[in-house]
Amino acid sequence: KAGVTQTPRYLIKTRGQQVTLSCSPISGHRSVSWYQQTPGQGLQFLFEYFSETQRNKGNFPGRFSGRQFSNSRSEMNVSTLELGDSALYLCASSLAQGQGHSPLHFGNGTRLTVT
């Protein structure tokens, strides 16, 4: 079974630009979550989608947004990039149903560098 696929693997953007990251979950997984990983803050939850609906959102500004498509694939968008947005963005999928919790399976991330 193929794992979680994230594209692109690396991105270099300039301050003020916007960026879109893509995630394809494991086949059959309907829940997709996004996390930001930095050396200082570690892994922080961005948001989670299930059946095309955002179920939960972390403490990030409105510049960070996402969506999920009917095939469970997900995208996240960051507008008006700031230097502090440089990070590894990780997507994870799970078999989550309702409010229960099942293990997250992560992709290898997109490394975003903002200059």
Partner 1 sequence: EDQVTQSPEALRLQEGESSSLNCSYTVSGLRGLFWYRQDPGKGPEFLFTLYSAGEEKEKERLKATLTKKESFLHITAPKPEDSATYLCAVPGQGAQKLVFGQGTRLTINP
CB of 103 to partner 1, least distance (A): 5
Q: Partners of 48 in the beta sheet?
A: 33, 56
Stretch that binds partner 1, among 13-21, 60-68, 71-79, 97-105 (CB under 8 A): 97-105
Q: Which two tokens stand for residue 13?
A: 């953007």
x/- site string to partner 1, residues 13 to 52, per CB under 8 A? ------------------x-x-x------xxxx--x-x--
CB of 84 to partner 1, least distance (A): 18
DSSP 3: -
Considering only 4, 78, 81, 87, the residue that binds partner 1 (CB under 8 A) is: 4
Dist CA 81 CA 3 (whole Å): 29
Dist CA 90 CA 113 (whole Å): 14
Asked if 106 interacts with partner 1 (CB under 8 A), we say yes
Considering only 15, 17, 52, 55, the residue that binds partner 1 (CB under 8 A) is: 55
Letter for the amino acid at 91? Answer: C
94 sits in the region (left: phi over 0; alpha: psi -120 to 50; else beta) called: beta
Dist CA 58 CA 5 (whole Å): 22
Considering only 26, 104, 112, 114, the residue that binds partner 1 (CB under 8 A) is: 104
CB of 16 to partner 1, least distance (A): 28
